[in-house]
């Protein structure tokens, strides 16, 4: 992926794309892959970075939805379980099975959840990730050695999927480009072009330079997640909102709090939520909350009550009580949930997707979840074909390997997420020994990866590198802050920026990263050092 050439093509204005997609998260990128792989001319614009919002702040699970099983939505669960299996097959460098254990503190719980997870597995059919079974008390402690042992009766084992969300977003972006799509990050939609009362393109703005240009298309697809209503108002200023936004918060702890290979799942907290503690990239992710009525923003902030809720339940289910000083990072994501008449709590709303078509033919896709992104994309492109009056071309994404899917065995985890590109990154480090140095002693990533990300993954900022292309900010915000000057220096060299740009990048990243720390957390002094650009 190369941003300059993509923008040059978009600015030229001498072609009409079949589809212009607004939004570079799971929904938009999935639609881009689907349309491009069918042979359509596709442009995709993202106002910030790919996966900047909800799509990089999930619970890192590819799942059928145990909660929806309880709600009796069998068809949704079965569809999601099939999509889970397809995703594992098409992106094996990013998706893998993970064992989950539900600790039971009564024999009634053991029987109830044992039956429920057996049904969950049976619904997966040939897409099953592993057999569920009841566990004895000793077996439960074997899987979860740090679970609270008092009154523990046993447990239930089942399997679901785990993935790296931001890296999957990048893989989708690369796959779309591999099939001829034109993608640009930091390129926002600031208006819609209308011709004879119909939407015929977008007014785009290069967010780095401020320059504006028009991109024409047969159909415009609004896939902007929690911001879909903002784009819909470009089309119809008084249109009522179609989404309600809820917020989910996760805390990241050191691996010692859950040292085994299994995740802990609490199917029902005191207020009816589902809670997970999941091993991920040698850390433990604990969450999530479901707070209704929040406003859409690119940098949502965790509320004190949400942090306290997670800490309280982590202490309830873990034998060693985590303290605030143990928290390495706090990340917050927003969920776009389709409004339902008379719906109460957002936790009761379905995340199944919705497609609307306005009178002027703006196509809007919203709702859904990461696991079902491929099906969402297929549905919206099917609809967009009809709106454009195009002859139907069947989707091929069910059998389409994503970029990086073919990779050599034995790669370390931090390189495996690159899949087939990992060998080239390793060679870059060997040919330039200075790039083999780690960005920070507590982080696995090396300078060669930053250079690769700038050259081939459209990394434009320090945040792009430390939050999404690596997951440093998610895993250890303090270490990420300390690594920022080194990343700024490498990016400045690659992007031909000067010293003042590098210094501004560090300041901007530190400001963002402080929001990923608990209030009052000390930051290493080295974070404030000025990056030296040769």
Per-residue pLDDT tens digits for 418-459: 999 999 999 999 999 999 999 999 999 999 999 999 999 999
- Are residues 522 and 377 part of one domain? no
Structural domain contains residue 233: yes
Structural domain contains residue 67: no
Structural domain contains residue 38: yes
Question: Cβ(251)–Cβ(286) under 8 Å?
Answer: yes
What's the sign of the alpha-carbon dihedral 360, 337, 159, 319?
positive
Question: Cβ(380)–Cβ(32) under 8 Å?
Answer: no
Structural domain contains residue 89: no
Q: What domain range is 468 assigned to?
A: 413-528
- Are residues 439 and 523 part of one domain? yes
**Residue partners of 185: CB distance under 8 A and separation at least 6:** 3, 24, 46, 48, 49, 50, 458, 460
* Pairing of β 95-104 and β 263-266: parallel
Per-residue pLDDT tens digits for 233-250: 999 999 999 999 999 999
Structural domain contains residue 335: yes
User: Looking at the predicted structure, is the pLDDT value of residue 414 above 60?
Assistant: yes
Q: Which helix (H) or strand (E) holds 19?
A: strand 16-22
User: Looking at the predicted structure, is the pLDDT value of residue 216 above 60?
Assistant: yes
Structural domain contains residue 282: yes
Q: Tell me 220's DSSP state.
A: E
Per-residue pLDDT tens digits for 43-78: 999 999 999 999 999 999 999 887 777 777 788 899
Look at residue 370 in the predicted model and tell me its pLDDT: 95
- Are residues 238 and 248 part of one domain? no
CATH of the domain at 320: 3.30.9.10
Distance from C-alpha of 477 to C-alpha of 513, rounded to nearest angstrom? 6
- Are residues 255 and 152 part of one domain? yes
Confidence of residue 19 (pLDDT cuts 50, 70, 90): very high
Distance from C-alpha of 259 to C-alpha of 318, rounded to nearest angstrom? 11
- Which one is predicted more confidently, 343 or 489? 489
Question: Cβ(49)–Cβ(186) under 8 Å?
Answer: yes
The full 3-state SS of 319-360, as one line of letters, equals CCCCCHHHCCEEEEEEEEEECCCCCCCHHHCCCCCEEEECCC
- Are residues 487 and 359 part of one domain? no
User: What global pTM score does this model have?
Assistant: 0.94
Look at residue 197 in the predicted model and tell me its pLDDT: 93
- Are residues 50 and 171 part of one domain? yes
Q: What is the mean pLDDT of residues 137-154?
A: 96
Distance from C-alpha of 401 to C-alpha of 403, rounded to nearest angstrom? 7
Confidence of residue 351 (pLDDT cuts 50, 70, 90): low
Bond prior to 288 in cis (omega within 30° of 0)? yes
- Are residues 485 and 454 part of one domain? yes
Distance from C-alpha of 92 to C-alpha of 85, rounded to nearest angstrom? 10
Q: Residue 145: how many CA atoms within 13 Å on its side-chain side?
A: 8
Tell which of 327, 343, 359 closes a domain.
343
Look at residue 71 in the predicted model and tell me its pLDDT: 75
Confidence of residue 533 (pLDDT cuts 50, 70, 90): low
CATH of the domain at 199: 3.50.50.60
Tell which of 377, 399, 421 closes a domain.
399
Phi, psi of 126 (to 5 degrees): -70, -10
**Smallest Cα–Cα separation from 103: which of 307, 277, 323?**
277
Structural domain contains residue 79: no
- Are residues 421 and 509 part of one domain? yes
Question: Cβ(162)–Cβ(22) under 8 Å?
Answer: no
Per-residue pLDDT tens digits for 306-332: 999 999 999 999 999 999 999 999 999
Q: Per-residue b/e over 77-113, b at no fewer than 16 CB within 10 Å?
A: bbbbbbbbbbbbebbbbbbeebbbbbbbeeeebbeeb
| 80 bridge partner residues | none
CATH of the domain at 496: 1.10.8
- Are residues 303 and 238 part of one domain? no
Question: Cβ(204)–Cβ(6) under 8 Å?
Answer: no
- Are residues 190 and 140 part of one domain? no
Question: Cβ(508)–Cβ(482) under 8 Å?
Answer: no
- Are residues 256 and 138 part of one domain? yes
Distance from C-alpha of 71 to C-alpha of 348, rounded to nearest angstrom? 9
Per-residue pLDDT tens digits for 477-505: 999 999 999 999 999 999 999 999 999 99
Tell which of 343, 373, 391 closes a domain.
343
| 24 bridge partner residues | none
- Are residues 111 and 128 part of one domain? yes
Q: What is the mean pLDDT of residues 516-520?
A: 89
Distance from C-alpha of 129 to C-alpha of 131, rounded to nearest angstrom? 7
Structural domain contains residue 255: yes
Name the domain count of the chain. 3
Distance from C-alpha of 431 to C-alpha of 265, rounded to nearest angstrom? 45
Q: Tell me 280's DSSP state.
A: E
Instruction: Report CA 303 to chain centroid distance, whole Å.
Output: 21
């Amino acid at each position: 992926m190369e941003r300059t050439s993509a923008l040059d093509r978009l600015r030229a204005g001498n072609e009409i794309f079949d589809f212009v997609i607004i939004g570079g998260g799971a929904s938009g990128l999935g639609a881009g892959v689907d349309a491009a792989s069918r042979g359509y001319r596709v442009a995709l614009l993202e106002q910030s970075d790919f996966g900047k919002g909800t799509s990089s702040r999930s619970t890192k699970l590819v799942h059928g939805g145990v909660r929806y099983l309880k709600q009796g939505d069998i068809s949704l669960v079965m569809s999601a379980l099939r999509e889970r299996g397809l995703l594992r097959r098409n992106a094996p460098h990013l998706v893998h099975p993970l064992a989950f254990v539900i600790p039971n503190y009564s024999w009634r719980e053991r029987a109830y959840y044992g039956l429920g997870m057996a049904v969950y597995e049976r619904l997966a059919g040939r897409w099953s990730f592993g057999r569920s079974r009841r566990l004895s008390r000793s077996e439960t402690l074997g899987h979860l050695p740090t679970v609270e042992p008092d009154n523990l009766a046993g447990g239930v084992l089942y399997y679901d999927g785990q993935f790296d969300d931001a890296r999957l977003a990048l893989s989708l972006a690369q796959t779309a480009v591999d099939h001829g799509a034109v993608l640009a990050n930091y390129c926002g939609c600031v208006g819609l072009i209308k011709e004879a009362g119909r939407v015929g393109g977008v007014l785009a703005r290069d967010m780095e330079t401020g320059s504006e240009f028009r991109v024409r298309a047969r159909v415009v697809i609004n896939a902007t997640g929690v911001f879909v209503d903002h784009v819909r108002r470009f089309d119809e200023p008084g249109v009522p909102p179609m989404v309600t936004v809820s917020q989910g918060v996760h805390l990241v702890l050191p691996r010692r709090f859950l040292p085994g290979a299994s995740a802990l799942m609490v199917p029902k907290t005191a207020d009816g939520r589902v809670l997970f503690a999941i091993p991920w990239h040698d850390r433990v992710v604990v969450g999530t909350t479901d707070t209704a009525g929040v406003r859409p923003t690119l940098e949502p902030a965790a509320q004190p009550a949400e942090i306290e809720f997670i800490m309280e339940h982590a202490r309830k289910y873990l034998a060693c009580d985590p303290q605030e000083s143990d928290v390495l990072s706090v990340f917050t994501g927003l969920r776009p949930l389709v409004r339902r008449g008379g719906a109460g709590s957002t936790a009761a709303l379905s995340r199944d997707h919705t497609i609307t078509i306005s009178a002027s033919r703006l196509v809007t896709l919203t709702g859904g979840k990461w696991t079902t992104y491929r099906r969402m994309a297929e549905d919206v492109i099917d609809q967009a074909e009809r709106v454009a009056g195009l002859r139907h071309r069947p989707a091929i994404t069910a059998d389409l390997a994503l970029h990086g899917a073919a990779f050599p065995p034995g790669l370390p985890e931090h390189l495996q997420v690159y899949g087939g590109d990992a060998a080239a990154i390793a060679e870059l480090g060997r040919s330039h020994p200075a790039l083999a140095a780690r960005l920070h002693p507590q982080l696995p990533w090396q300078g060669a990866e930053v250079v690769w990300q700038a050259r081939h993954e459209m990394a434009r900022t320090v945040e792009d590198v430390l939050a999404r292309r690596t997951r440093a900010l998610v895993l250890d915000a303090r270490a990420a802050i300390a690594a920022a000057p080194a990343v700024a220096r490498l990016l400045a060299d690659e992007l031909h920026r000067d010293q003042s740009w590098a210094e501004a990048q560090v300041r901007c990243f530190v400001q963002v990263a402080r929001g990923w720390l608990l209030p009052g957390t000390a930051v290493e002094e080295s974070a404030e050092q000025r990056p030296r650009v040769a």
